[in-house]
Amino acid sequence: MAIDIQPYHKKGYLCIDDIIVSVADYFEKRHIFMHTKGLNFTYSPKIVKGEGVLKRIRTSCNYPTNIKDFLTELNYLQDFVGLHIDFISSLPKLELINYIEDSIEKNHPVAIISNTYYVPWHDQYYKKVNKLHAFLVIDIDINQKYLLCIDGYLSDKPVKLPFEDLLLYTDILIFKSINSKKNLSLPNILSQITNGLTDNHKLDNCDCIRLFAEDVTNITFLETEKQRYRDLDHSDFMIGLKSIEFGRKNLGDLFYYLSDIFIEYRDIMLLIQSKIESITEQWRLVIVFFVKGFYSDQTTYYMKKAAEQLLDIANNEEDVTRCILSLVHKSSYKIEK
Amino acid sequence: MLNNNSIREKIDTIIKDNVDKREHINLEGTFEDIGVSSLCFVRIMVEIEIQFEVEIDDKYYTAEFKNIGEFMDKIIDYLSGGDSHGN
């Protein structure tokens, strides 16, 4: 029995975002609360002068820079979205097929974490580019030996994955619908945002962005990188930066949404939203400077411009954090009263 | 100085060079429709800068264009001095 999930894609979403929205909609959950981590920022390892960045360095907003941390990082979806996610690593092929069949029977959608090299409907990357990619399985045909999948990031129709294209050992995510663990109160939601910032060492100040700015001035693009990443879409570094830009935008959208629910705080929430909107534009410019630096042979000039923009972003994100903290105090005080 | 048709032709070539050969460029469509990602869009802009030896105002990099036709018109206007390279 197939799971009736429709493909979904929104500009700026990563494949995992599309999956979460598709599953949340299927279980009639409010996926907007997946955006509470939108002000986060991480990058690793540190940029070293003279070494490449596009392959080595990972930048990230919502998701960990290391896949091993995936499950812990997705736990927050239990609080307000109401999704419980299990992460099972390195299942042998036969076990994987049995597991998927069983999960679909139980109405638990499964996402396969694969590699674009083995994704036949990825015209650009199939048998060419190795990149992490995830998609949902909605049905399985044991006789014809294929999985019926939903990959909104790449296709608006269901696609077939022959068993032969399954990796020998594959990681999967299993989604289960649960009752949201926390009450939908403003202090609770804000606390999820501030907890995320604490985890990123970004609640007290945005020095992590300032350090990144300092590092950015040391960026040089190696000739080998220029050949390999002619299409910058292959680079995790750049994809991470895009997710940071859209993470901000999505958090702004969340504040807009909340302003309609908690109307007594509407003004301050709309103010926060407009501040985040400007920051989103600034991140977009940072990306523009990176891309210009990469293609134009004026790397030093554009990295300096990117660094200046990042320093300004650090100040502005500190300002937004202060506004959020002020809202935390106001809303908690009101409840205590 | 290049006339608008000649600028349009050069921009058209740059866009075509950055998309799959099978794609047809429809001025009413968006860049996303022809598989141009936001990073690829910036590359197109950089190639336009190199081709015309100008530094295009940052606002054109972050602007949302309704479709490719609107993008072409605005960039041509900018390159031919119609936008006074400002506002």
A interface test, pick of B33, B36, B39, B60 with most A CB neighbours within 10 Å: B39
* Nearest chain A alpha carbon to B54: A296
What pLDDT digit, counting tens, does each position of A179-216 carry? 999 999 999 999 999 999 998 899 999 999 999 999 99
Q: Which of A238, A288, A296 is the closest to B50 by Cβ?
A: A296
Query: For residue A176, is pLDDT > 90?
Result: yes
pLDDT band at B84 (very low <50, low <70, confident <90, very high): very low
Counted across chains A and B, CB pairs separated by less than 8 A come out at 40
What is the Cα gyration radius of chain B? 12
CB-CB under 8 Å, B42 with A287: yes
Interface test with B, best of A232, A243, A279 (most B CBs within 10 A): A232
| Rounded Cα gap, residues A45 and A59, in angstroms | 9
Calculate the dihedral angle through the C-alpha atoms of B53, B59, B61, B64, rounding to the nearest 10 degrees. Answer: -140
Interface test with A, best of B17, B23, B38, B49 (most A CBs within 10 A): B38
Using CB atoms, pick whichever of A232, A281, A292 lies closest to residue B62. A281
DSSP notation for A269-292: HHHHHHHHHHHHHHHHHHHHHHHH
* Chain B positions with Cβ closer than 8 Å to A: 32, 37-40, 42-43, 45-47, 49-50, 58, 61-62
Cβ of A288 within 8 Å of Cβ of B37? The answer is: no
Let me know how long chain B is: 87
Arithmetic mean of pLDDT, A82-98: 91
Contacts of B22 in chain A (CB under 8 A): none
Tell me how far CA of residue A153 lies from CA of A53, A149, B24, in angstroms: 25, 12, 22
Closest C-alpha to B18, from A306, A295, A285: A295
> What ipTM was assigned to the predicted interfaces of this complex?
0.77
Give me the amino acid identity at A294: F
Q: Per-residue pLDDT tens for A307-327?
A: 999 999 999 999 999 999 999
- Dump pLDDT digits (tens) for A273-288: 999 999 999 999 999 9
Under the banding of pLDDT at 50, 70 and 90, the label for residue A261 is very high
Q: Give pLDDT, residue A226.
A: 82
Interface of A with B (CB under 8 A): 11-12, 231-233, 238, 242, 281, 284-285, 287-288, 291-292, 295-296
- Provide the H-helix boundaries in A123-185: none
What residues have CB less than 8 Å from A102, skipping those under 6 apart?
none
The answer to whether the CB atoms of B39 and A285 lie below 8 A apart is no
Question: CA–CA separation, A6 vs A120, rounded Å?
Answer: 20
User: Residue A309: what are its φ and ψ, rounded to 5°?
Assistant: -65, -40
Contact B39 A232 (CB under 8 A): yes
Cis ω before A120 (30° cut-off from 0): no
Over residues A10-33, the pLDDT tens digits come to 888 889 999 999 999 999 999 999
